[in-house]
Each structure stands twice: as C-alpha cells, then as structure tokens.
Structure 1
Amino acid sequence: MPKLVDHDLRRGEMAEALWRIAAREGLEAVSLNRVAEEAGVSKGRVQHYFPSRDALLAFTAEHLVDRVTDRLRAAVAAAPDALSAVRRALLEALPLTDDSVADTRVGAAFLIRALGDDALRARYRARNAEFLGLLATLLTTARDQGALRPGREPGALAVELAALVTGLAEPLLLGDLTPSLATAIVDDALARLV
C-alpha cells in the first residue's frame, strides 16, 4: 500500500523552518538550502513543494498570518466580556511572549517585503482591516453594554488602540520597553475609556 503523505503538513513544516530562520536572522538569510537544512529534509523535497524562494516566502507569509490570527481568535474567545476581549486582542498583538516576539520579528521582515509586493501588501492591508474590524465590533459591544464612556466612536477608538500597540511593538523588540510596562500602558489606555 502506498504511503500517504500529508502535503499541507509538509508545506507547513517548511514554512515553520523558514519562520525560525527569519526570526533568528531575517529574511535575507533564507534560501531553499537553509530551509531544507532547518527542516531536516533535502533541498529537492523543498523544491518539490516550492519551486522558488519567492513561492516559499509567499506561502510562509500566509502561514504566519494564519498563525497569528488563530492565536488572536483564541485569546478573544476566552475573554469573559467585550472590554476584556479588546484587552486580550491588544496584548496578543504585542511581542510579549517568545512566540509573539518571533512572529513580530518575522512579520516586520515581511512588512518590508510587502512594500514592493502588491499581493503581499494587499494581504497585510486585509489583515489590518480585519484587526480593526474586530476591535471596532468588540468596542461597539462594550459600548452597548455600558462599559465605555459615552461619546466615543468605536471605529475611531479601534484605530487609536491599534496605533498604540503598533507603536509599542518596536521598543519592545529593541528592549527599550519591558512587557510589564507595555501591558500597563495598554491597561491605562483602556481605563481612560470607561
């Protein structure tokens, strides 16, 4: 009986190998040879799934977006109320854990690549719109539950809070800001909304 191969699993393993290299050394260190070595497979196996470095990078960018989105959704789903869900979403968007630090580093590298790649830029813009939409929906629910001060428009607040976490990410990555201080800044911003 022929051996069944899970091709999606194999592609995912190679994307994870690229992700590990990029998190440590940046995208410029990525090659099909390096990915094969990191994944513990032959270069031919990598080329079987990805005929070029660009194809591997494109797949990995999608894989990264899916990985971060899944983690974000799980964090929000576990929240007891809408305002807590906003807090969890904001904290999940920050590089506060080993996984999120690596994801943010790789995401930043892909963001630079997206500036010259229309398809990747469109994916990043769609992901950002989804995040803003999620925040706006949660803030609308929080407002309707009486958890926000009146007079604040949820869409504008979503942009403000997303900009806050975007602005905190760089000093966190550089070590200029501690995770506990970044968390306190987010909590302070949310406290001003109630």
Structure 2
Amino acid sequence: MPRQVDHEERRRLIAAAVCHLADERGLEGVTLRDVAARAQVSMGAVQRCFATKEEMLVFALGYVGERIGERVRARLVRSPAQSAASALGHAATEVALLRAEHRAEARVWLAFVAQAAVSPPLAATLRANYAALQEAFAHLIAEAGGGAGLAAPQDPGREARAVLALADGLTTHVLIGHLAPEEAEEVLHAHLRRLWEGPAGGAG
C-alpha cells in the first residue's frame, strides 16, 4: 500500500511539473526530459509512471481539471441562506478563471484545450469535464427557476450549455486582454440575471 501511495504522489508531482512548463511555454514546449528536471525525478521515473507523453498529458489535464472542480464543488455546497441562483453565479465565475490568482491556471487550461483539438484522448477528458459541469449547472438552473420570484427557463439543459460556453469563452477574453476581469464578470452575471427575466426566463 505505501508503494502505491508513493506512485500516485509521484504522478501528481509530475502533473504539477507539466502544468508549470505549460504555463511558461505552452504544451508544445513540454518534453519528458524537461518534466523530469522540473519534477526533480529521473527520466526513468517519468516513464514508469506514464507509458507515453500523451498519457502524461491526459493525467495532467485531469489534475488541473480536478483543482478547478474542487473549487466549483465548494461553491455548490450551499448554506440555507444561499440560493441556487447565487450558487450558479459563484460556480460559473470559478469556471471562468477570472481572478488574478488563477491566471496561470487559465493559461494552462487553454493550452490543453488547444492541444485537445488534435488529441482525441485529451478531447475525451475535456468532454467529460464539461459534461459534469453542464449537468451541475442545469440542476441549479432548474432548482432556481420558480423560487424567490424567479421565472423558470423552459430548457435548463440548453441554458446550462450557454452559461458554460460563456464562462469558458470569457477565460480567453481576459487572458488576451480583450476584457478586464471585472468586465468579464459583469458580462457573465448580466447573462445570469437575464435567465430569470420575463415569462419562461425570457426564452421567448
């Protein structure tokens, strides 16, 4: 058992090294040799943990996705005083990675998204992450609709896809300087407010 724990810890250490390098130079600049040096392990140790570079990248994507997911889940654990609509706003803001302390994470996430366009295993991992987020958002939208005087959107799943796509797209707009984080957050929350306006959430 201790040996298995050490193996998993090493895999996470290597994943962290991949993320640091991806932040500095993009995934195209990530080599096994550089990862080993950054993680302060041997090349052999990296190869024992991951059979291929692609396997290593898939694990690293899961590693950064889990970090984001942990923050989202923490936002979804609501106190009695927090409404579903409020929880949705907080969770969507976490997904958008708008805060300054998450800027490096945003760069890494977008590097993986770009690589996923030519890597089916990375694309599959991203689809699974997005599907889980979309399901959580749809549940919150359905729960919030009709409560506290809010109109209920006709199709929570469709609205969840829109919120997720908007939050994800805002990451890029902030990262390249097209929008300030405060502007992006206002765009996101203005969209969320419109979900509850008018009959059927303004769907007509």
* 1:48 lines up with 2:23 in the alignment: no
Q: CA deviation at 1:149?
A: 1.9
Per the alignment, residue 166 of structure 1 pairs with 168
Distance across 2 between alignment mates of 1:14 and 1:189: 39
State the percentage of identical aligned residues: 34
Structure 2 counterpart of 1:157, one-letter code: E
What's the TM-score, normalizing by structure 2? Answer: 0.84
* 1:73 lines up with 2:78 in the alignment: no
Q: CA deviation at 1:14?
A: 0.7
* 1:126 lines up with 2:116 in the alignment: no
Please say if residues 153 and 159 of structure 2, whose CA atoms lie closer than 8 Å, have aligned partners that are also in contact.
no
* 1:29 lines up with 2:34 in the alignment: no
CA gap of 1:22–1:149, structure 2 versus 1, over 3 A, is same
Alignment of 1:1-150 (within 5 A): 6-78=6-78, 80-150=82-152
Deviation per CA, 1:119-165: give whole Å up to 9, x if none: 32222122212111111100111014245324543222212222221
Q: CA deviation at 1:24?
A: 1.6
CA gap of 1:20–1:187, structure 2 versus 1, over 3 A, is same
The number of equivalent residue pairs is 193
Structure 2 counterpart of 1:93, one-letter code: V
Distance across 1 between alignment mates of 2:114 and 2:189: 30
CA gap of 1:99–1:42, structure 2 versus 1, over 3 A, is farther
Report the RMSD for the aligned CA atoms in angstroms: 2.2
Distance across 1 between alignment mates of 2:30 and 2:99: 24
Please say if residues 17 and 38 of structure 2, whose CA atoms lie closer than 8 Å, have aligned partners that are also in contact.
yes
Please say if residues 144 and 152 of structure 2, whose CA atoms lie closer than 8 Å, have aligned partners that are also in contact.
no
Structure 1: which 5+ residue stretches go unaligned?
none
Q: Tell me which moved more, 17-26 or 117-126.
A: 117-126
Please say if residues 171 and 177 of structure 1, whose CA atoms lie closer than 8 Å, have aligned partners that are also in contact.
yes
What's the TM-score, normalizing by structure 1? Answer: 0.88
Q: CA deviation at 1:41?
A: 2.1
Q: CA deviation at 1:52?
A: 3.0
